[in-house]
Structure 1
Amino acid sequence: MKTALITGGSRGLGRALARELAQDGWNVVIDGRDPLALSSVASEIGATGIAGDVTDASHRASLVEAVSGGLDLLVNNASTLGPTPMPRLDSLPVDDLADTFATNVLAPLALIQGVLPSLRGRRGAILNITSDAAVENYETWGAYGTSKAALEQLSHILAAEEPDVAVWWADPGEMNTEMLRAAGEDADAAPPPSQAAAALHHLIDSRPPSGRYRAAGPLPGAEFQRSGESRAGLSLQEGAVDER
């Protein structure tokens, strides 16, 4: 049985992807900061829930211990927008930016470091959830956007350093989530996270080359392809690893 560790698994995309994998027979470990919500989801889908904050080193150690028997997939999904309402850069408190990086960049790297030995041995995969805010210049998205840009570059370098581990950084597009609502966007008009989760499940099963992927029509069983192709699915962008 394959094992997946998904951070931020109590709601949104994390919950939807955890459900997808659990229904497919995976052993799934999820975390989240709300113990009651996490327990409810874990019980519903048959996963192991470990409550805590990914920025807490002792919590990360508990996650690594929970998958010490072997890990096939790490999904770094937990993230924060930063301060809300989201300020312009000229008024963004540097301490808040540091907190955003702690959740969106440093915690994912620390978890990666903790589970890499297992992933190497099982030729596993790492899926880092990113956003178009990493590559676009949206006003007031400075904290979140710069942190996701850093996560993408971290992923790109990691893919070059770890040839035996698949490293994907995927932009699922807008989804009807509390995070999008907190950003002041019309979340109700966005598709449900389950659509992106189904496309990511397809990506995981297909194990494409390491690289950047984006949702281009996240339908159940959708295909993925390199940038410039027209078929719906998850599209590999120009940040793909050079397979020289």
Structure 2
Amino acid sequence: MTTIGFIYPDHAAEDDYPLAEQLLGGSDAAEGDIRLPVAHIYGTDLHAVPELLDLGSESRLAEGAGLLARHRPDAVVWACTSGSFVYGWEGARDQADRLAATAGVPASSTSFAFVHAAQAIGVRRVAVAASYPDDVARLFVDFLAAGGVEVLTMSSADIDTAAEVGRLAPDAVVDLAVTHDHPDADAVLVPDTAMRTLGEITAIEEKLGKPVLTANQVTLWEGLRLAGTARVVRSLGTLFRPGR
């Protein structure tokens, strides 16, 4: 049994994780038992720098790690992109290191998951389809650049709160990704864990004709990577397919 714990801010699209657990354990996945417990921490869900710095603070993540402890996770991931990249590359590294020390297992965040996933599938130049306000989205662009990922174009939907993002209809999620591609981009990145995306990845990739990396998708993949476990799940996109 492999257990990967996720610390998730407030409530929005956390039902992507039970869906992922089902996909990983079903006929669409390689054999093996995977558990994906989610611990919620609470602050404001506003996409604004001061609030995001508070949301990703050491004390809040320590609270999340404490809630996950009973599950005895093999790895822990801070499932929040903006609450990690807002600290910058070095700050986000320190954030993950402190979380690992508190949890006593390997730890990471969604921001690093994007960089690691891009590296894994050979993606160097991307388009970013962000739901955040522009000033927050630009911090994600800076983070990717620090990780060696070039952003050719960035769009910001200027949605202020995670709750609003979580209410986006599936068609709106697909449209956001597809309409903000760049012809020279190797992939499109959709960075908000508040957005339900796991059920839409196949449709997005079919329309794009290239990989899409979404926040909850890469967060799941990062947890598996930290736990030393690989899974093939065709419905979760290029990142989870063999022979990529």
Could you tell me the TM-score, scaled by structure 2's length? 0.41
TM-score, scaled to structure 1: 0.41
Larger RCO, structures 1/2 (Cα 8 Å, 6+ apart): 2
